[in-house]
Amino acid sequence: MNRLEQLKSSGKKAFVAYVMAGDGGLDRLKEQVQYLQSAGVTAIEIGIPFSDPVADGPTIEAAGNRALNQGVTLQKVLEELQSWTFDIKIPLLVMTYLNPVLRFGVERFTTECKKAGISGVIIPDLPYEHKQLVHPYLDKENIKLIQLVTLTTTDIRLDEILREAEGFVYAVTIKGITGSRDELSHDVKTFMQKIRKKSPVPVYAGFGISKSSHVDMLRDDVDGFIVGSAIVEAFNAGKIEEIEPLIRAVTTA
Partner 1 sequence: MTKVKICGLKEEQHVQAASRADAIGFVFAPSKRQVTIEQAAELAKHVPIDAEKIGVFVNATLKEIEETVAGVPLTMVQLHGDESDELVRAIRVPVIQAFSIRTKEDVVKLKQSLADYVLVDAPGTDYRGGSGNVFDWSLLEGADIDPARLIVAGGLNPGNVHAAIEQTTPYMVDVSSGVETDNRKDTVKIQEFIKSVKGDFVEETMEKVGFFGKYGGQFVPETLMKAVKELEDAYNEVKEDPEFHKEYHHYLSEYVGREQPLTYAQRMTEAYGGPKIYLKREDLNHTGAHKVNNAIGQALLAMRMGKRKIVAETGAGQHGVATATICALFDLDCVIFMGEEDIKRQQLNVFRMKLLGARVESVTKGSATLKDAVNEALRYWVANVEDTHYLIGSALGPHPFPTMVRDFQSVIGEETKRQILAKEGRLPDAILACIGGGSNAIGMFYPFIQDKEVELIGVEAAGQGVDTAKHAATLTKGTDGVLHGALMKLLQDDAGQVQEAHSISAGLDYPGIGPEHAHLADTGRVEYRSITDDEALAAVISMSRLEGIIPALESAHAIAEAEKQAKQMTADQILVICVSGRGDKDMATYAEKLEGLA
Question: Positive or negative CA dihedral for 122, 162, 151, 14?
Answer: negative
Does residue 137 belong to the site contacting partner 1 (CB under 8 A)?
Answer: yes
Contact 179, 208 (CB under 8 A): yes
Of these residues, 56, 80, 166, 223, which one is catalytic? 56
Does residue 190 belong to the site contacting partner 1 (CB under 8 A)?
Answer: no
Does residue 103 belong to the site contacting partner 1 (CB under 8 A)?
Answer: yes
What is the rounded distance in angstroms from the CA atom of residue 157 to the CA atom of residue 162?
8
What is the rounded distance in angstroms from the CA atom of residue 163 to the CA atom of residue 181?
31
Does residue 39 belong to the site contacting partner 1 (CB under 8 A)?
Answer: no
Write the interaction track for partner 1 spanning residues 66-85; mark x where CB under 8 A is met and - where it is not. --x----xxx----------
Taking the complex as a whole, the smallest distance from the CB of residue 77 to partner 1 amounts, in Å, to 10
Taking the complex as a whole, the smallest distance from the CB of residue 5 to partner 1 amounts, in Å, to 16
What are the start-end ranges of the H helices in 84-199? 98-104, 106-115, 135-140, 155-163, 187-198
Site for partner 1 in 116-135 (CB under 8 A): 124-130, 132-133
Does residue 228 belong to the site contacting partner 1 (CB under 8 A)?
Answer: no
Helices (H) and strands (E) in the chain, counts: 12, 8
Question: Looking at 18-26, 146-154, 225-233, 238-246, which segment touches partner 1 (CB under 8 A)?
Answer: 146-154
Does residue 55 belong to the site contacting partner 1 (CB under 8 A)?
Answer: yes
Strands 169-172, 144-149: pairing kind:
parallel
Q: Of 4 and 74, which has the nearer Cβ to partner 1?
A: 74
Does residue 175 belong to the site contacting partner 1 (CB under 8 A)?
Answer: yes
Of these residues, 5, 23, 45, 223, which one is catalytic? 45
Helix (H) or strand (E) holding 95: strand 92-95
Helix (H) or strand (E) holding 235: helix 229-237
Taking the complex as a whole, the smallest distance from the CB of residue 16 to partner 1 amounts, in Å, to 17
Distance, CA of 41 to chain centre? 12
Is 56 catalytic? The answer is yes
Cα within 13 Å of Cα(227), Cβ side: 30
Taking the complex as a whole, the smallest distance from the CB of residue 52 to partner 1 amounts, in Å, to 5
Does residue 101 belong to the site contacting partner 1 (CB under 8 A)?
Answer: yes
Closest CA relative to residue 53, chosen from 92, 98, 22: 98
Q: Which of 154, 182, 186, 237 binds partner 1 (CB under 8 A)?
A: 154
Cα within 13 Å of Cα(117), Cβ side: 16
* Residues engaged in binding partner 1 (CB under 8 A): 50-55, 57, 61, 65, 68, 73-75, 97-104, 124-130, 132-133, 136-137, 139-140, 147-154, 157, 164, 172, 175-177
Catalytic center residues: 45, 56
